[in-house]
Chain A
Amino acid sequence: MAASSASKLFRAGRSLLGGLKDPNGSIGLSKDLPRSYLFSQQQRTFIQMRTNLKVVDNSGAKRVMCIQALKGKRGARLGDTIVASVKEAQPGGKVKKGQVVYGVVVRAAMQRGRSDGSEIKFDDNAVVLVNKQGEPIGTRVFGPVPHELRKKKHVKILSLAQHIA
C-alpha cells in the first residue's frame, strides 16, 4: 500500500514539475517508460504497523499482523523483534486468534546490508513467534533463515532452522 502510494506521488510530482519547467520534455519522458517498468520498481520497505507476516514455525499461528516494531523509528528489518497480533491460526495450536505475541523477523523482502558490503533479500516477510525472553514458542522452523540472527542472539532459532542463508 505504501509502495503504490509512493509511486503515485512520484508520478504526480513529475507532472507538476512538467507544468513548471518544460511541458514537452518531462511528459514525453514519462510516456516513454512502459507501465511494467514502474510496477517492477517496487520499493521494499520496513515492517511496520499493519504489515502482514507469514508465520514459519509450528506454534499454531498462520498469519500475524505487526502492531509495533520494537526497535527502529521507521520499522523493523531482518532480524528485529516485533509485537504482533495473530490474525489467522490453526485450530489446535499453542496460540489463538487475537492473541498478542512477540516475533522475530526471519525473512524480509527489504534488503539488508551485510558487514562485507553485499546485500541480502528474501522472497517474503516471515516471522517466528517467540516469548518475552526471546525463546521460540514452536519447535520447528521452516524455510531458510539468515545468519544475522546469530548476532542478535537468537541461537535457538538458528539451531532449529533447515537452511541458513
Chain B
Amino acid sequence: MRLEKCWFCSSTIYPGHGIQFVRNDAKIFRFCRSKCHKNFKMKRNPRKVKWTKAYRRLHGKDMTQDSTFEFERKRNKPERYDRNLAENTLKAIKKIDKVRVDREARHHAMRMKGKKAMERKEAAKELEQSIHMVKAPAALQQEASLTLPKIKVKVSQEQSQENRMEE
C-alpha cells in the first residue's frame, strides 16, 4: 500500500480513491477526485489555480522549505518488518505532524502580521473621507459629538445685561 500525491492539488490519495491516467509517454498522472481530473482534462495549469498546493507554494502562502518535509521522501526499498521500527515510526509520524502544523501556523501568523494596524489605519482614513455618506455635513456642525471639540465663548453675562436693559 502506498499513499500517493494528487498531481493537481497535491493532496494524498488513499487506497481506493481516484483515477490514474497513463499517457503514451508512460507518464502517470494520479488524481484524488474527479474535480482534479476534470481540471486536468481542461488543460488547466495547477500553478495558476488558486486552491492547489502548487499555487500556494509558488505564491508564498504556504511553507516551501522545511526540515519536516525531508521525512516524507519516496523510498523504493521495502523494509523488513520490525515491530520496534514500526512502533517508533508511528510515534515519529505523530510528532513530525505536530511540529509541521505548528510551523505552518507560525508562517501564517508571520504572513498576517501587521494586518490589524493596517485595518485600523484604513478605517480611520475612510472615516475621515467618507463620513459625508453617513451624516450630512450640516448635521455634523450642529452635533458636538461628531465634530472636533469647539472653543467655548462666554456670552451669558452680556445677555443678562441686555435683558435688564430691555426691562
Chain A residue numbers with a CB within 8 Å of B23 are: 122-123
Instruction: Please judge, given known A-B contacts A118-B18, A119-B19, whether A165 and B41 are in contact too, CB under 8 Å.
Output: no
CA distance A120 to B19 in the complex (A): 6
Q: Is A163 an interface position by the 8 A CB rule?
A: yes
CA distance A116 to B1 in the complex (A): 9
Contacting pair A144 B41 (CB below 8 A) = no
Chain B residue numbers with a CB within 8 Å of A116 are: 1, 15-16
Q: Is A40 an interface position by the 8 A CB rule?
A: yes
Q: Is B24 an interface position by the 8 A CB rule?
A: yes
Interface residues on B, range: 10 to 19
- CB interface residues, A 105-151, toward B, < 8 Å: 107, 111, 116-124, 143-144, 146
CA distance A93 to B8 in the complex (A): 43
- Report the nearest B residue to A161, measured CB to CB: B26
CA distance A70 to B13 in the complex (A): 35
Contacting pair B19 A144 (CB below 8 A) = no
Contacting pair B22 A144 (CB below 8 A) = yes
Q: Is B38 an interface position by the 8 A CB rule?
A: yes
Chain B residue numbers with a CB within 8 Å of A124 are: 24
Q: How far is the CB of A153 from chain B (nearest CB, A)?
A: 22
CA distance A144 to B21 in the complex (A): 11
Contacting pair B24 A122 (CB below 8 A) = yes
CA distance A40 to B38 in the complex (A): 8
Chain A residue numbers with a CB within 8 Å of B134 are: none
Q: Is B58 an interface position by the 8 A CB rule?
A: no
Contacting pair B26 A119 (CB below 8 A) = no
- Report the nearest A residue to B28, measured CB to CB: A165
Interface residues of B (CB under 8 A from A): 1, 13, 15-24, 26, 28, 38, 41-42
Q: List 28 A-B contacts (CB under 8 A).
A: A36-B42, A40-B38, A40-B41, A40-B42, A111-B19, A117-B16, A117-B17, A118-B16, A118-B18, A118-B20, A119-B18, A119-B19, A119-B20, A120-B19, A120-B20, A120-B22, A121-B19, A121-B20, A121-B21, A122-B24, A123-B22, A124-B24, A143-B24, A143-B26, A144-B22, A144-B24, A146-B22, A165-B22
